[in-house]
Every structure is written in structure tokens, then in C-alpha cells.
């Protein structure tokens, strides 16, 4: 596309020729071993870290709490709409019935 | 000359407080208001106010506020902070009063009583705590107004520390005072729930079950968290969350109870009453133990210019409406229902 790219193979050849014996084979082998070891350790520790980080990020995500709170609100309203029975409800009903019977007795 | 004037000011302030204390002692000793005396309610309110103050303020701030109330006179920004402390103390007393009434109301309904007259008597006695809260709030507002006036005279508009003023060091969230305040408040609530301390004969249902009406807890917690998240972080968002959810819960309960009367369904009315009482307890608890301390820290840390007008409105409104709704609840419990012919 551009004219600048046509000179690239020539420059590459020139660089290869000029730097052909820059790196001794032992050093190259050593570097390759090191890179391989680094990759291995990275691959070993990789699965554990993202799990913890992801779980924490998920727990502190605003949208999770927003969804959870709205779910709680809706669940509470729906439960209350269904006239729930509970120890306090039963006790209040008993008190109210007692008051009603008291009124009937007076009459 | 200035020293003599300062000493006479302090002496006058101490005399004024002594006179007020003597007046209160005389009124109590006269026995005129014996029917309105509740030792448990008074102790709950005093210790609750101390715990609530520790939740929102440091020892140094509390000490400075007392010294300013005694007429020490300090820098304008220090006076403004002390005025805010007394305003917050008045707010706490008012909220704690209504919370005590709702708390006691739920426990009375869940408790065992020898007769219906005894239940009614205990229900009405629950309202005395709100009266104490109101009186205590008025007393605590006196130093707040006085110190705010002094701050204004000294060149500050009675509110925040100015931009140039030295800001106090931010206290850590888990400070000793705060932990002591929360632990003390929890212990106080547990002690208040004990039947022996309240003078009740025995319990029909455990206090935790009497207070924890599932739907009310879900509505108040869910609504408060949702509103606080949408309104943004900070104490004001939590005040808005707990107060508006509490108001919505009160209205929802009242409407459901009225439908219960129309349907002549005692179970429906009882569910609505349980919802009103439990929701008001949790909304006020959230207001006094979560939202208010957060707002206090924001103001005392120099992050805000005093309490916001909306927060102030809710601090007055929610306890007042709770009291009114508790009275309505009492009327609903004692009003007999007859099936239409």
C-alpha cells in the first residue's frame, strides 16, 4: 500500500546479516529455558488467581447488590400481599379476637 | 477584666443547668405525673443516647461539645461542630423514643398477659418512651441553638468548618468509641427485650420472633439498600433509603389493614399490624444505627456542610409518623369488628 514497505525486506536482510553472531547459542538456549519455565509457572498459578479476584469483584459489584435488593423488596411486598402467618400475626389475631369477644360480652 | 467576665459566664451557665435539673427532679418527686413514669423507658433512652453518640462521634468531639455547652467558647469552626453534636444528640433522642415505642409495642403484643386490660395498659405505656424522647430532644436542642448562635456571632454561618479552617483528623471506621457504641446499643436492646426488665409476666413468643416479621424485614432492607445505591454513597443516601422505605411500609400496612376491616378478615388485619410494627422498628433502627452515624462522620470529618434539609425532614417525620401509626395500630387492635348482616 505505502511506498515505505517496499524497503522492509532489504532492511530485514541487512539486520540479520549484521547481527547474525550477536547471540551465542548457549545464551540463546538459556533464554529459551527461562522463557519456558516462566510460562510453566504462569500456567500453574493462572487458574487460582482469577477465581478469587472474580469472586471478589462479583461480590462487590453494584449491579449484584441492586438486583438483590430489588428482589428482596419485591419478595417482601409479595409475601405481605399473601397475608403471611407468623407467631406475631397469630398473637395479634388472638388479641383482636379477645377484644371482639369482650365487646360481645358487654352487649 | 476579660477573665472575670469569662468566669461569671461559666458560673451562670452552670447555675442555669442546675436550676433546670432541680426543676425536673421537683416535677418527678411531686408525683403529679406518676402515671407517665417509666424507669425502664428512661434508662433505655439515656443509655441509648449515650451509645448513639459514641457511634457517630469521637471522645474528643463529645468532650469539646460538653465544654462548649458549659460556656468555654472556642474557635468558630469548633463551635459549629459542637452545635452539630447537640443537634445530632437531639435527633438521636427523638428517633430512639419512637424506636423504643415500636420495639415495646411489638414485645407487648408477643408477650403473655393476664388479661386484655393488661395488654391495653402495656400498649399505651409503650407510647411514654416517645414522650421522653421528645422532651429529651427539646432539652438537647437548647445547647445546639445556643452554640450555633455563638458560632454565627463569631463569624461562621452556624454550619460547617470553613475552607480555611483546620480540619479534624479523620477517625477510623473501627474506632474504640464506635465499637463500644454498637456493642452497648446491642446489649441495651437485648436487655430491653428481657421480660423481667420490662416488668412483663412471661413471653408467649420469643422477642426475636415477635420483632422479625419476614416481609417487613425484606421490604425495609431491600428498599433501603436499593435506594442508597441509586441515590449514591454516603450517609444521606442511607437516610433517604431507610426513611422512605419506612414510610412506604407504614402506608402499605395501613392500606392493607383498612382492606382487612372491609373484608372483616382478622388475619389480614393482624398481618398488616405486624408489618407496620416490624417495619417501623427496622426503619428506625437503620436510621439511628447506620444512616445517622455515617452522616455524623461526614460532617465532623469536614466532608459536608452540616446536616442536609432532606435528612433533617426525615429525622423529624419518620419518628412522628411511626408514633401516629402506632396509635392507629392500637385503635385497630381494640376496635371490635362485626360481620355485616
Full pLDDT tens readout for chain A, 107 residues: 444 555 677 888 887 777 766 677 788 888 888 998 888 877 666 555 566 677 667 667 778 888 999 999 999 989 888 877 888 888 888 888 887 777 555 55
DSSP summary character for residue B201: S
pLDDT at site A46: 57
Q: Is residue A22 part of a domain?
A: yes
Quick one: pLDDT at residue B86?
Answer: 93
Residues 6+ apart with CB under 8 A from B266: A93, A96, A97, A100, B260, B337
Assigned domain for A25 exists: yes
**Spatial separation of the C-alpha atoms in residues A88 and A75, rounded to whole Å:** 19
CB B148 within 8 A of CB B158: yes
Between these two residues, B36 and B240, which has the higher pLDDT value? B240
Q: How open is the CA angle A25-A29-A32, to the nearest 5 degrees?
A: 140
pLDDT tens for B103-114 read 988 888 887 766
In a domain, A12, yes or no: yes
A100 and A69 together in one domain = yes
In a mutational test of the A interface, the residue from B122, B219, B221, B333 whose CB has the highest number of chain A CBs within 10 Å is B219
Cβ proximity of A64 and B229 under 8 Å: no
Task: Give yes or no for a contact between B94 and B129, defined as CB atoms under 8 angstroms apart.
Answer: no
| A102, A66: one domain | yes
Q: How confident is the model at residue B101 (pLDDT cuts 50, 70, 90)?
A: very high
Is A54 inside any structural domain?
Answer: no
Q: Tell me if A52 is assigned to some domain.
A: no
Chain B residues with beta carbon closer than 8 angstroms to that of A69: 221-226, 229
B335's grid cell:
376496635
Whether A55 is covered by a domain: the verdict is no
Chains A, B: CB contacts within 8 A come to 128
What is d(CA B208, CA B103) in angstroms, rounded to the nearest whole number? 11
Tell me how close the Cα of B214 comes to any Cα of chain A, in angstroms.
7
Q: Do A98 and B116 touch (CB under 8 A)?
A: yes
Asked if the Cβ–Cβ distance from A65 to B210 is below 8 Å, we say no
Please check whether residues A40 and A72 belong to one and the same domain.
Answer: no
How far off is chain B from A96, nearest CA to CA, in Å? 5
Question: How would residue B341 be classed by pLDDT, with cut points 50, 70 and 90?
Answer: very low
Whether residues A91 and B109 touch (CB distance < 8 A) is answered with: yes
C-alpha distance across the termini of chain A, in Å = 105
**Cα–Cα distance measured from residue B174 to residue B311, given in angstroms and rounded to the nearest whole number:** 24
Among B18-32, B99-113, B189-203, whose mean pLDDT is lowest? Answer: B189-203
Q: What is the pLDDT of residues B207-263, one digit of tens each?
A: 777 788 889 999 999 999 999 888 876 888 999 999 999 999 999 999 999 999 888
A66 plus A37 within the same structural domain: no
User: Which chain B residues touch A67 with a CB distance below 8 Å?
Assistant: none
Same domain as A67, residue A39: no
Q: What is the span of the domain harbouring residue A36? A: 3-46
Residues A70 and A39 in one domain: no
Average pLDDT, chain B: 83
- For the segment B132-147, the average pLDDT, to the nearest whole number, is 91
Q: What pLDDT is stored for residue A1 in this prediction?
A: 45
Best residue in A60, A82, A91 for a mutation probing chain B (most B CBs within 10 Å): A91
CA of B106 vs chain A CAs: smallest distance (Å): 8
Are residue A67 and residue A102 in the same domain, yes or no? Answer: yes
ipTM exceeds 0.90, yes or no = no
Is the CB of residue B213 less than 8 Å from the CB of residue B275?
A: yes
CA-nearest residue to B268 within chain A is A83
Report the pLDDT value the prediction gives residue B163, as an integer from 0 to 100.
45
For residues A97 and A69, membership in a common domain is answered with: yes
DSSP string, B230-256: HH-SSHHHHHHHHHHHHHHHHHHHHHH
Contact A69 B333 (CB under 8 A): no
CA distance B185 to B289: 9
Over the stretch B326-340, which tens digit does the pLDDT of each residue have?
Answer: 999 999 888 877 655
The tally of domains found in chain A comes to: 2
- Residue A31 is assigned to a structural domain of this protein: yes
Least confident of B14-28, B209-223, B276-290: B14-28
Q: Rg (Cα) of chain B, in Å, rounded? A: 22
Q: Is residue A56 part of a domain?
A: no
Amino acid at each position: 500500500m505505502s511506498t515505505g514497505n517496499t524497503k522492509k525486506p532489504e532492511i530485514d536482510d541487512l539486520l540479520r546479516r549484521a547481527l547474525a553472531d550477536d547471540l551465542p547459542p548457549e545464551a540463546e538456549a538459556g533464554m529459551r529455558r527461562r522463557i519456558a519455565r516462566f510460562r510453566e509457572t504462569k500456567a500453574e498459578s493462572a487458574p487460582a488467581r482469577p477465581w478469587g479476584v472474580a469472586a471478589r469483584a462479583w461480590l462487590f459489584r453494584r449491579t449484584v447488590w441492586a438486583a438483590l435488593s430489588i428482589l428482596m423488596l419485591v419478595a417482601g411486598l409479595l409475601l405481605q400481599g399473601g397475608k403471611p402467618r407468623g407467631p406475631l400475626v397469630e398473637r395479634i389475631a388472638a388479641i383482636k379476637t379477645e377484644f371482639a369477644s369482650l365487646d360481645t360480652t358487654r352487649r | 477584666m476579660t477573665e472575670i467576665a469569662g468566669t461569671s459566664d461559666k458560673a451562670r451557665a452552670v447555675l442555669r443547668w442546675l436550676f433546670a435539673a432541680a426543676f425536673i427532679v421537683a416535677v418527678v418527686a411531686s408525683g403529679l405525673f406518676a402515671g407517665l413514669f417509666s424507669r425502664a423507658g428512661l434508662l433505655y433512652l439515656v443509655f441509648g443516647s449515650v451509645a448513639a453518640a459514641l457511634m457517630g462521634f469521637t471522645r474528643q468531639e463529645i468532650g469539646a461539645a460538653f465544654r462548649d455547652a458549659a460556656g468555654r467558647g472556642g474557635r468558630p469552626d469548633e463551635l459549629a461542630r459542637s452545635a452539630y453534636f447537640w443537634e445530632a444528640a437531639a435527633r438521636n433522642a427523638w428517633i430512639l423514643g419512637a424506636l423504643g415505642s415500636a420495639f415495646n409495642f411489638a414485645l407487648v403484643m408477643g408477650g403473655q398477659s393476664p388479661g386484655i386490660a393488661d395488654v391495653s395498659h402495656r400498649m399505651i405505656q409503650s407510647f411514654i418512651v416517645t414522650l421522653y424522647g421528645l422532651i429529651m430532644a427539646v432539652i438537647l436542642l437548647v445547647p445546639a441553638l445556643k452554640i450555633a448562635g455563638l458560632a454565627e456571632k463569631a463569624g461562621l454561618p452556624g454550619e460547617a468548618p470553613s475552607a480555611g479552617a483546620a480540619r479534624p483528623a479523620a477517625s477510623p471506621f473501627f474506632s474504640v468509641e464506635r465499637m463500644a457504641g454498637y456493642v452497648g446499643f446491642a446489649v441495651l436492646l437485648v436487655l430491653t427485650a428481657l421480660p423481667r426488665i420490662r416488668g412483663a409476666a412471661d413471653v408467649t413468643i420469643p422477642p426475636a420472633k415477635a420483632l422479625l416479621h419476614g416481609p417487613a424485614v425484606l421490604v425495609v432492607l431491600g428498599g433501603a439498600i436499593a435506594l442508597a445505591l441509586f441515590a449514591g454513597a454516603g450517609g444521606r443516601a442511607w437516610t433517604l433509603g431507610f426513611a422512605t422505605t419506612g414510610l412506604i411500609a407504614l402506608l402499605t400496612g395501613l392500606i392493607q389493614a383498612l382492606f382487612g376491616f372491609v373484608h372483616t378478615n382478622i388475619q389480614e388485619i393482624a398481618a398488616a399490624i405486624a408489618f407496620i410494627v416490624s417495619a417501623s422498628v427496622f426503619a428506625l433502627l437503620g436510621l439511628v444505627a447506620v444512616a445517622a452515624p455515617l452522616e455524623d462522620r461526614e460532617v465532623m470529618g469536614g466532608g459536608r456542610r452540616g446536616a442536609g434539609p432532606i435528612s433533617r425532614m426525615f429525622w423529624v417525620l419518620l419518628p412522628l409518623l411511626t408514633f401516629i401509626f402506632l396509635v392507629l395500630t392500637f385503635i385497630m387492635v381494640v376496635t371490635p369488628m362485626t360481620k355485616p348482616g
